[in-house]
Amino acid sequence: MTRIGFTGVGAMGAPMVRNLLAAGHEVTVWGRSPSKLAPVLEAGAVPARDLAEIAAQDVVLGCLLDGAAIEEVYLGGLLSHARPGQLFADHGTYAPQVAERVAAAFAERGARYLDAPVSGGPMGAVAGTLVCAVGGDAAGVEQLRPIAQAYTGRIAHLGGPGRGLALKLINNFLVSINFVAAAETAWLIERLGLDPDAAQGILYGGMADGAVLRQGLSKALAHDYDAGGMSLGGLVEVQRNIAELLGGAEFRSGLFPYAQEVFAAAARSEFTRHPSALTRWLPGAPSIDPSSSEQ
């Protein structure tokens, strides 16, 4: 058992906490929105009065929303309580440069900070099958590995601070493009009058198959746009970091700008919708079902 402090108990963080509890760890939680803590408190987590109580635990983990939250919680709160040899790791997605700054600040206090973004969505968090790309000190990665087994199926060390996030942004580069491809596929299937079930049966067994296609296409064809923990707005924020990553690498993608444009147009109208709702905002394409009721 490890005494763990956890911040960022949202769509991804909550099932991660429940899996940590199920694995026998003692988990103390803190959130900027205390109302979100109720489900994990019912599962056995202990509420913290402040970030000092979180930092008092053996290891501190988090799954915060973005870079602004990372800087607020880690640099503005946890850093002053960090102890030499203590491990801090956050599983959120944000800019690699932020991770570099945070890791340097914790290193000055003799503590380790890892950027450890996860992929697999809320379903993967519940199942404990997330994949985790980690940037930072190698010894810290080995310290994290047995703990993160509670909610991950695979962990890889990518190098120094920010390197885990670099790969996660590449992952989301692919996710963004593939969600738009799934939306266009759904629109074409309906436009051409093809049987949706038969079409999915073939596409899901061929070379085009994949997790994003299955989730995006099936929900789009069902006109199911419920976010379910994966919102359009969340990917739009991440896409800004992807654009910066591509620019820093002096790489000009022919696909990503179009995908980013579609996401941005959709998010301006329906910020919380699932990416399957992209079918409604494809350039030049009418809504699949403009008269349908909201899901």
Whether 293 has a pLDDT exceeding 50, the answer reads no
Question: Cα–Cα–Cα angle for 172, 190, 226, nearest 5°?
Answer: 45
- For residue 89, report the phi and psi dihedrals to the nearest 5 degrees: -150, 135
pTM score, whole prediction = 0.90
Helices and strands per DSSP (H, E), number in the chain? 12, 9
Whether 286 has a pLDDT exceeding 70, the answer reads no
- Tens of pLDDT, residue by residue over 110-125, are 999 999 999 998 999 9
Cα distance from N-terminal residue to C-terminal residue, the chain: 42
Q: Residues 179-189: what's their mean pLDDT?
A: 95
Q: Which class in CATH covers the domain with range 3-161?
A: alpha beta
- Tens of pLDDT, residue by residue over 17-62, are 999 999 999 999 998 888 889 999 999 999 999 999 999 999 999 9
* Other Cβ atoms within 10 Å of 293 Cβ, number: 6
Please state, in angstroms and rounded to a whole number, the distance separating the CA atoms of residues 284 and 295.
24
Q: Do residues 91 and 62 lie in contact, with contact meaning Cβ atoms separated by under 8 Å?
A: yes
Please state, in angstroms and rounded to a whole number, the distance separating the CA atoms of residues 231 and 226.
9
Name residues whose C-beta falls within 8 Å of residue 49's C-beta, 6 or more positions apart in sequence: none
- For residue 94, report the phi and psi dihedrals to the nearest 5 degrees: -160, -175
Name residues whose C-beta falls within 8 Å of residue 230's C-beta, 6 or more positions apart in sequence: 11, 121, 122, 274, 275
Please state, in angstroms and rounded to a whole number, the distance separating the CA atoms of residues 138 and 143.
9
CATH number of 166-280, picked from 1.10.3090.10, 1.10.12.10, 1.10.1040.10, 3.90.1170.50: 1.10.1040.10
Residue the block writes with tokens 């989730």 = 215
Please state, in angstroms and rounded to a whole number, the distance separating the CA atoms of residues 280 and 289.
8
**Residue 219 among the catalytic residues:** no
pLDDT-derived band at 289 (thresholds 50, 70, 90) equals very low
Please state, in angstroms and rounded to a whole number, the distance separating the CA atoms of residues 257 and 252.
9
Closest CA to 219 of 165, 280, 141: 280
The active-site residue out of 25, 112, 163, 168 is 168
Residue 119: half-sphere exposure toward Cβ, Cα within 13 Å: 22
* Strand pairing category for 112-115 and 87-90: parallel
Whether 155 has a pLDDT exceeding 80, the answer reads yes
Q: What DSSP letter does each residue of 18-50 carry, written as one string?
A: HHHHHTT-EEEEE-SSGGGGHHHHHTT-EE-SS
SS3 of 136, please?
coil
Please state, in angstroms and rounded to a whole number, the distance separating the CA atoms of residues 143 and 119.
20
Mean pLDDT of the chain: 92
Which residue ranges make up each domain of the chain? 3-161, 166-280
Q: What phi-psi label fits residue 162: left (phi over 0), alpha (psi between -120 and 50 degrees) or beta?
A: left
